Amino acid sequence: MINWGIIGCGNVTEVKSGPAFNKVADSRLVAVMRRNAELAEDYARRHNIPRFYTVADDLINDSEINAVYIATPPLNHAEYALKTLNAGKPVYIEKPMALNYTECVMINDAAKKNNLPVFVAYYRRTLPGFLKIKDLIEAGEIGKPRFVQFQILNYPSEDEKAGRLPWRVIPEISGAGHFFDLASHQLDYLDFLFGPVRKVSSVVVNQAKNYRAEDFVSAGFLFDDNITATGIWSFSVSLEGNRDSFEVVGEKGIIKTSTFTYEPIVLMNGNGRREFINERPENIQFYLIEQIVKALSGKGEVVSTGISAARTSRVMDQVV
């Protein structure tokens, strides 16, 4: 049985991840930690978790816990991951893996030293819709892949315009701006499809001046076999300009969908047009957590590790 503890029981753990630890076979969530005792107790009560802590070290050193999920902002990922690994326990870390690539290397070095695995919450590697895209490409439905293009265009929140900034746009806490939070999923998925990025070029600016971090990124990426990708991330457009698009263009066809809104997957090639459902599970990390639990029980491997996640952080560092 894998007995989990969560450090940082905030929003992402309410539905996306937290409940999955008790739904996956041979897994249970036994404790959570949050600095605010009232909020920690409330979370534990609502999710029927046996106990809660307000100090991370107390959870890490709980003798019943044999795996730890770190769901804090990136600022604390490296600190808690190193403590967990040095306590002899495997760790599952929210994405991005850390504030920067240097911290990712520190975590992976500690994992190697302690002979323990590190997993990172790039769960699109396990979602049915994104696996379908990979299958279509590998089945030759679009011929040789030529390039990928994607856009994430969002309008700024009223809080951002008023100076009430979320931690995601404070570089000291998140690593950069919204780019790190959102593009990390896309860049990691490209790594899953095509392997490591070989070359990066980018334009990074702040257009709206709502905060210090970048709010516009345009970047190009080169993979093996001369496959390329281009992306635009803009977080200061109008409501009407809101967009989430993801396209893989090949020599014989094209695949269209979205990254975050789970639009149907559309395949167009010489055989016509086909649509596939892009499933969004209620607990979106379920499949990855299931894979992790099986691996920790000696029953398989995990597609999102500290090694693959560090590559994504290295690329993001190169972009910004």
pLDDT tens, position by position, 126-175: 999 999 999 999 999 999 999 999 999 999 999 999 999 999 999 999 99
Under the banding of pLDDT at 50, 70 and 90, the label for residue 252 is very high
Does the structure show a pLDDT above 90 at 236? Answer: yes
| Digit-coded pLDDT (tens) for 282-305 | 999 999 999 999 999 999 999 999
**Segments making up each domain of the chain, as ranges:** 2-122+284-314, 128-280
* Helical axes 306-319 vs 178-194, angle rounded to 10°: 120
Straight-line distance from the first to the last Cα atom of the chain, in angstroms, rounded to the nearest whole number: 42
**75, 218, 121, 96: CA torsion to nearest 10:** -10
Does the structure show a pLDDT above 90 at 30? Answer: yes
pLDDT at 103: 99
Q: Cα(179)–Cα(273) distance, rounded to whole angstroms? A: 32
Residue among 174, 147, 153, 161 nearest 218 (CA): 153
Instruction: Compute the average pLDDT of residues 178-196.
Output: 98
Under the banding of pLDDT at 50, 70 and 90, the label for residue 276 is very high
Does the structure show a pLDDT above 90 at 177? Answer: yes
Provide CB contacts within 8 A for 187, sequence distance 6+: 197, 221, 312, 315, 316
- CATH for 128-280, options being 3.40.50.1110, 3.30.70.890, 3.30.360.10, 3.40.605.10: 3.30.360.10
| Digit-coded pLDDT (tens) for 89-101 | 999 999 999 999 9
Does the structure show a pLDDT above 90 at 319? Answer: yes
Under the banding of pLDDT at 50, 70 and 90, the label for residue 51 is very high
* Percent of the chain scoring above 70 in pLDDT: 100
| Digit-coded pLDDT (tens) for 31-43 | 999 999 999 999 9
Are the CB atoms for 217 and 179 separated by under 8 Å?
Answer: yes
Under the banding of pLDDT at 50, 70 and 90, the label for residue 47 is very high
Under the banding of pLDDT at 50, 70 and 90, the label for residue 29 is very high
According to DSSP, the residues that pair with 232 across neighbouring strands are: 151, 218
Domain 2-122+284-314 has CATH 3.40.50.2000: no
Under the banding of pLDDT at 50, 70 and 90, the label for residue 239 is confident
Under the banding of pLDDT at 50, 70 and 90, the label for residue 219 is very high
User: 186: which 2 tokens?
Assistant: 């896309």
Whole-number average pLDDT of the chain: 97
Instruction: Compute the average pLDDT of residues 183-210.
Output: 98
**Run of H or E residues at 221:** strand 216-222
